[in-house]
């Protein structure tokens, strides 16, 4: 009887602990995305977005004229420069002085400094339709890994090392297309934006979905989140606008 009572007590404690862990995990992953405001930006067909290194503004690109733009917090252009290529579709800061961009049709990743001087260019081994190529890029400064999206047919997530050697490619079957990506340093996760599915999916680093949020932004093509995880920013390619959301 004493043995059985000890076993019963152990099982009860085990169940309580398990329930507590589940509740804690739910609390950690529970997030709400709430719309705050939107404002026009003077960039034709913005196709990507990242905060500046000090988070005092934004970097974006136009696939209409292959130009990189630096914007202040109010969306005004601070500086701009062109990058040689066709169909510029993604941007990510690497440090205070360098950026990475991708070209959809050429399947190229290009490293430039913040004045537009090209430092490196590589071509990704990728078949398929020209207009369904590379679509977004983000960077983990700690591991020095790049994460790159292929838009669709197939929808893919690539990872590359600091020298742009391919490490992995994974198929994303849960969205119709991929249009933007952000690396979240707080918990080492990825946020992947889909224009056609009208959603943002939080994923692990191999693209496995953790949680999905639905949005109503016309043709969203880029997103970023501040380092504190308080605000999310999304650009609309068709509306030439920047949308601000709170994360709670």
Average pLDDT on 171-177 reads: 98
pLDDT (mean) for 27-45 = 83
Mean pLDDT of 171-192: 98
pLDDT in tens, 77-110: 999 999 999 899 999 999 999 999 999 999 999 9
Segments making up each domain of the chain, as ranges: 1-30, 31-247
Specify the CATH superfamily of domain 31-247.
TolB, C-terminal domain (2.120.10.30)
Record the tokens describing residue 169, joined without a space.
């490619």
Give every strand in the sheet of 145-150, ordered side by side.
134-140, 145-150, 156-160, 166-171
pLDDT tens string 10-25 = 444 444 344 443 333 3
Strands 220-225 and 209-214: unpaired
The band of 128, judged by pLDDT with boundaries at 50, 70 and 90, is: confident
**pLDDT mean over 161-178:** 98
The mean predicted confidence, pLDDT, of the chain is 90
């Amino acid at each position: 009887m004493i043995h059985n009572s000890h076993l019963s007590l152990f099982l009860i404690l085990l169940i309580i602990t398990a329930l507590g862990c589940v509740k804690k995990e739910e609390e950690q992953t529970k997030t709400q995305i709430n719309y705050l405001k939107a404002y026009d930006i003077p960039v034709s067909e913005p196709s990507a977005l990242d905060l500046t290194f000090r988070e005092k503004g934004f970097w974006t690109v136009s696939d209409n004229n292959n130009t990189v733009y630096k914007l202040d917090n109010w969306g005004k252009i601070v500086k701009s420069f062109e990058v040689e290529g066709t169909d510029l579709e993604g941007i990510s800061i690497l440090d205070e002085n360098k950026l990475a961009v991708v070209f959809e049709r050429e399947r190229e990743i290009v490293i430039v400094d913040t004045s537009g001087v090209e430092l490196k260019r590589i071509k990704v081994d990728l078949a398929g339709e020209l207009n369904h190529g590379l679509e977004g890029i983000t960077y983990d400064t700690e591991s020095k890994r790049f994460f790159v999206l292929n838009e669709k047919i197939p929808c893919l997530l690539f990872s590359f090392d600091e020298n742009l050697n391919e490490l992995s490619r994974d198929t994303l079957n849960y969205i119709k297309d991929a249009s933007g990506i952000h690396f979240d340093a707080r918990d080492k996760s990825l946020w992947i934006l889909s224009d056609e599915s009208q959603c943002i999916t939080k994923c692990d680093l191999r693209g496995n979905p953790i949680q999905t949020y639905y949005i109503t932004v016309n043709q969203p093509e880029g997103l970023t989140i501040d380092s504190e995880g308080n605000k999310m920013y999304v650009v609309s390619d068709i509306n030439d606008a920047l949308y601000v959301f709170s994360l709670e």
